[in-house]
Amino acid sequence: MLMERGTLKTAQLQTLVAIAEHGTLMAAADALNVSQPAVTKSIKELEARLGVQLLERSGAGVRLTRYGEMLLRRARAVVAEIASAERELEEMRTGAERTLSIGVSLLASSFAMPQALCAFRARLPDVRLNVYECLPTQIIDGLRDGSFDLCVAFIASSDVTAEYRVVPLSEAAQVLAVRQSDALADETRLENLVRARWLYGHTRESLPAYWRELCGERALPLPSHVNVCTSQRLYGLLAQEPGTVSVWPEFLLEEPVRSGLLQRLDTDACQPRLTLGLMHRRDLVLTAALEYFVECIQRTQT
């Protein structure tokens, strides 16, 4: 049994996380302020405890095995939670300002945050807020390594969020658009748009799943010309290029349509939906300040 092999130590998990972040045993040792032999010993003890190989050598240093990758996800959560507990205890002991770090997706930053932040500051003015506008991949990384306590983001059904708790707040349809009076403006069949140039505002990794949702029961090939752009301002400019089909959250398309820059495409495609949601690690223990911030966000959507 695993319990007979010794106790799993926090320092061993911290060592594994450091190796994953820095790529070599030497760099991990420097980050942890210990010797390289100490890092090697810690990993060997951890492997002996678990009965599996966690690391293997590569040309550039070391890489995690599939066992190491699985354990790393858990180790990051444990290390982040311990660091959070230590920070809270220190704040209680010294009377220092409490800190809340929030990651916000580019779309959610203007859609949900201003009113919630004002309400939060009115009641808890002594809590120090760090709010960062991020790309989708940065949000996931920040939650995983503990940089963010919580994130507010528009989440596509194609996004991988299994390791996080998602609290849905509202939904928005994703619709298609082209330049005003474009040659494609009267096209109603999705299959006739496959060869067009497409513009997509989420991660490239989520594109195949989005396309399958858009197609519904049809098996249409993924367009070969798809540009990904996560800059909202640049996206609006690229969407005005001739022959470009762009994907928009419905509420964001209203202004460029009203301004005569773009027009919505009414096709036989399905309309995948985005969910505005709160995201945090499943194992996160919410502080009183964090619970109130969640309440402020939820009130903006009622």
For 221-246, write each residue's pLDDT tens digit.
999 999 999 888 899 999 999 999 99
Which CATH number belongs to the domain containing residue 287 in this structure?
3.40.190.10
- For residues 119 and 244, membership in a common domain is answered with no
* Residues in the chain with pLDDT values less than 70: 1-6, 59, 87-88, 90-97, 157-162
Which residues, 6 or more positions from 80, have their beta carbon under 8 angstroms from its beta carbon?
144, 145, 146, 281
Residue 231 and residue 147 share a domain: no
Among the candidates 53, 87, 121, a domain finishes at 87
Q: Looking at the structure, tell me whether residues 102 and 17 fall in a common domain.
A: no
End-to-end Cα separation, the chain, in angstroms: 51
Predicted pLDDT at 92? 62
Query: SS3 of 265, please?
Result: strand
Distances in Å between the Cα of 140 and the Cα atoms of 47, 73, 203 are 27, 12, 12
- pLDDT recorded at residue 2: 43
- Give the tokens for residue 293: 């911030």
Which value, in Å, is the radius of gyration of the alpha carbons in the chain?
Answer: 23
141 shares its domain with 288:
yes
CATH of the domain at 25: 1.10.10.10
245 three-class SS: strand
Which pLDDT score is estimated for 268?
A: 94
Domain holding 259, by residue range, is 172-272
In this structure, the answer to whether residues 147 and 284 fall within a common structural domain is yes
Which ranges of 127-226 does DSSP label H, i.e. alpha helix? 136-145, 207-215
Q: How many domains does the chain have?
A: 3
Question: Are 165 and 280 contained in the same domain?
Answer: yes
Distance (Å, whole) CA 302 – CA 298? 7
Backbone angles phi, psi at 249, to 5 degrees: -65, 135
Residue ending a domain, choose from 87, 114, 137 = 87
C-alpha to C-alpha distances, 301 to 130, 151, 171, 209, 294, nearest whole angstrom: 22, 16, 10, 27, 11
Residues 157 and 210 occupy one common structural domain: no
Q: Position 166: which residue type?
A: V
Condensed to tens digits (0 to 9), the pLDDT of residues 62-92 reads: 889 999 999 988 888 788 778 777 766 766 6
Q: How far apart are CA 79 and CA 278, in angstroms?
A: 22
Nearest residue to 144 via CA among 280, 290, 300, 3: 280
